[in-house]
Amino acid sequence: MLIEFCYPTIRRKEMDAVLTVMVDEKIGPGEQAERLIQTAKERLGFEYCIALRSPAMALFFALKLLDLPPRSGVVISSLSPAYYIRVLEDAGLTAVFCDVGAASPCPDAATISAALSTATGTAALDTKGDPAPDNDTEAAGGSKITVRAVVLHHNLGFMPDMEGIAALGIPFIEDCSAAYMSGFGEKKAGTYGVFTILGLEERDMLTSGGGALLYASDRRNAAVLRNAAELPPEYGLPDVNAAMALTQFKETEKNLQKRGKIAELYTQSALRQGRHKMFVCPDMFEYNNYAFPLILETGMKEVAAYAKRKEIAIENAFSKTPAGMGLVKQENCPTACSLSLRAALFPIYPRLGDAAAMRVAKLIQTLP
């Protein structure tokens, strides 16, 4: 029997919560969305939050709240979600790609610094050099792009050295859709940036079937967000989605425990096989086990064929990113482009049974 790669964590509690909202015939934005924001505030400690219908909408609003001049450069990782590019275009801004750190799916202070000095809009970046004055970068046609912000995607739930990035002095938006509860001790993902996006899509750490929270963790930025919070109901997260997300928040500890147990099993198998490597985490980092990736010694083809024979679905970790879609020049973002070809993800989700987890662990240990 095939072990699916991804399975939304929807149990009876989530179903009952959604059914209750449907029975009450109040499925649009309303009381459940307000309760979701209050519950999220208790867990995440932000100052202010709005619940929106999609992460793309949340990113668009966050960028607009930064009030950047038209065509400003915004640094994004070459392994960010591809929809970032469309949102930046819609916001009248210029995507500037950067590489990721060594043995990491995330950019770090060094790769972001490189993007501040050498860039082409919506093209590849060099990863060497010091920041240029005023963050000016040269476009392909010889004109200057001024990089004024960063959108920092915590890829697969991992995080870089956040203090180093903050020290660059450039405002950044955090996307912790996969990094909910990852962090450095008490300092969790989503507490560093000017604004934070917590996606609630099907494959995010928490799911409501669609939607996102956009929040600010300090009073100054919260005031900016609050002033822009009067939105038509068509922008708001419907109660039918909010009810599911509310239950997911309440089940956090149970789901994290299950993920941790599976990840420990997989890690032991990965260490035994030795050929394929795991990502390296910064000191003191606590991972939420959103995913279990391996950096393959070879490409995906042989490993994917082997997994298919064992009836276990695996995926390329970065096929739907700018690097994975061929939008980034390999010579300028070598690490990201390499990872886009040989980083595999294995099934890990709370509803994965013990027997299925053992099958995946055996697969990892015997990978070609």
pLDDT tens string 271-285: 999 889 999 888 889
Q: What is the pLDDT of residue 122?
A: 46
Is the pLDDT score of 126 beyond 60? no
Instruction: Give the closest residue to 293 by CA, choosing from 44, 85, 1, 5.
Output: 5
Lowest-confidence region among 20-24, 97-101, 300-304: 20-24
**Residue 80, pLDDT score:** 97
Output the pTM of the full model.
0.89
Q: Are residues 104 and 139 in the same domain?
A: yes
The answer to whether residues 198 and 73 belong to one domain is yes
> Do 222 and 260 fall into the same domain?
no
Do both 155 and 63 map to the same domain? yes
Separation in Å, CA 77 to CA 74, 228, 335: 10, 27, 11
Give percent of the chain above pLDDT 90: 71
d(CA 98, CA 55): 21
Q: What is the CATH number of the domain that holds 315?
A: 3.90.1150.10
Looking at the fold, whether 180 and 217 belong to one and the same domain comes out as yes
Q: Are residues 227 and 109 both part of a single domain?
A: yes
- SS3 of residue 321 by DSSP: coil
3-class DSSP string for the chain: CCECCCCCCCCHHHHHHHHHHHHCCCCCCCHHHHHHHHHHHHHHCCCEEEEECCHHHHHHHHHHHHCCCCCCEEEEECCCCCHHHHHHHHCCCEEEEECCCCCCCCCCHHHHHHHHHCCCCCCCCCCCCCCCHHHEEECCCCCEEEEEEEEEECHHHCCCCHHHHHCCCCCEEEECCCCCCCEECCEECCCCCCEEEEECCCCCCCCCCCCEEEEECCHHHHHHHHHCCCCCHHHECCHHHHHHHHHHHHCHHHHHHHHHHHHHHHHHHHHHHCCCECCCCCCCEECCCCCEEEECCCCHHHHHHHHHHCCECCEECCCCCCCCCCCCCCCCCHHHHHHHHHEEEECCCCCCCHHHHHHHHHHHHCCC
The pLDDT, as a whole number, for residue 118 is 67
Mean pLDDT (the chain, rounded): 88
Tell which wins on pLDDT, 314 or 232: 314
Query: Is residue 7 a part of any domain in this protein?
Result: no
Phi/psi at 255 (5° precision): -70, -40
**Domains in the chain: how many in total?**
2
What is the predicted pLDDT for the residue at 22?
61
263 and 197 in a common domain = no
Whether residue 4 is contained in a domain is answered as: no
Q: Which is nearest to 348 in space by CA: 319, 312, 318?
A: 312
pLDDT greater than 70 at residue 172: yes
Looking at per-residue confidence, does 274 or 165 come out higher? 165
The confidence score (pLDDT) of residue 143 equals: 58
**Full domain range(s) for residue 123:** 12-250
The answer as to whether 6 is a domain residue is no
Q: Is the pLDDT of residue 86 over 60?
A: yes
pLDDT at 103 over 90: no
Region 110-132: what's the mean pLDDT?
Answer: 57
- Evaluate whether 247 touches 17 at the Cβ level (below 8 Å): yes
